[in-house]
Every structure is written in structure tokens, then in C-alpha cells.
Amino acid sequence: MRTDVILRVVAKLLIPFALMFALYVQFHGDFGPGGGFQAGVIVAAAVIFYGVIYGLPAARRAVPDRAVELMVAAGVLLYAGVGVAGILLGGNYLDYFVLASDPVHGQHRGIFWVEAGVAITVSGVMLKVFYLFAGRGRDPEDEA
């Protein structure tokens, strides 16, 4: 597919919109449908799309394996960290009310970071699984 001009051009046009939509789903999840999981999946799908059209090495250059593996763990740590922050600020584990002086604002802050954690882990895992599946059986040419 790397030689098909139409696919390459369409992919290049669509991917920024997909990423933008992911950000919208992430940050507008409080008001409309969506949230961390959906946003993470859309980000992963956009990168996978890039990988399918431009080849796995290109996707790996754009989003390196190391970053993806970091994301897999960082999201869960971020989520769990929000819980620990609740304890440190004098509440219970995952208690968002204490995260800001105003309880409702604290809820907002808690939900924001928790959703960010979900998005990071989900997109990391999806991408890693894609990289591993697509990379199987073609390691030699993978050096790029």
C-alpha cells in the first residue's frame, strides 16, 4: 500500500482530523459522549492507520516503541497516583473532593487526570499490540 498515491494522500488528510477528534472526545467527555477509553482507542487507530498505509517502520519512527511501552505503564501509574494524591491531601484513596479547595472543582480535576491516565494506557496497549502483531515475521527489514 506504500505506493498507492490516493491512499497516502487521503491518510495524510484524515489522520490530523482523527487525532483532533480524539482530543475532542477526551476533553469534551465531561459534556458529550466519550472519555479516556474512546480517546485512547482513536489515537491508537490513527497511528495504526498511518502504519497500515505508510508501513510499520514509519509508524515506529513516528511513535517509537519505547514511548509506547512507557505509555502502557504511565497511564495506570497516573490513575493510581490520583488516588495517592487524594490520600496525601487528607482524603481517601481516589477521593477527588480534596484535590481542590472547591469540592466540585476537585471532582473536575480528579476526573480529568483519571481520564488522561485511561487514555494513555489504552492507546499505549493498543499500539503495542499492533506493533507486535504487525512486526511478527518481518524483523529483518524492521531495522529502519
Partner 1 sequence: MIETPGIAALFVMLAAVAVAVARQRNLFGVVVLTGTYSFLMATALAALDAADVAMTEAAVGAGISTVLFLGALNLVGSLESKPMERPWIPLVLSLFTGMLLVYGTYGLPAFSDPHAPIHTHVVPRYLQEGLAETGVPNIVTAVLASYRGYDTLGETTVVFTAGIGVITLLRRRRKKKEEGGS
Q: Which residues bind partner 1 (CB under 8 A)?
A: 25, 29-38, 41-42, 44-45, 48, 52, 64-66, 69, 72-73, 75-76, 79-80, 83, 94, 96, 103-105, 107-108, 110-111, 114-115, 117-118, 121-122, 124-126, 128-130, 132-134, 136-137, 139
Cβ distance to partner 1 smaller for residue 15 or 42: 42
Taking the complex as a whole, the smallest distance from the CB of residue 9 to partner 1 amounts, in Å, to 20
Cβ neighbours of residue 115 closer than 8 Å, sequence gap 6 or more: 26, 29, 35, 36, 39
What's the CA gap between 41 and 30, in Å, rounded?
17
Minimum gap (Å) between residue 44 Cβ and partner 1: 6
3-state secondary structure of 76: helix
CA distances from 18 to 13, 45, 60, 78 (A): 9, 8, 18, 24
Please say which residue, 12 or 102, places its beta carbon nearer to partner 1: 102
Q: What's the rounded Cα separation, in Å, for the pair 50 and 144?
A: 16
State which residue, 16 or 64, has the beta carbon closest to partner 1. 64
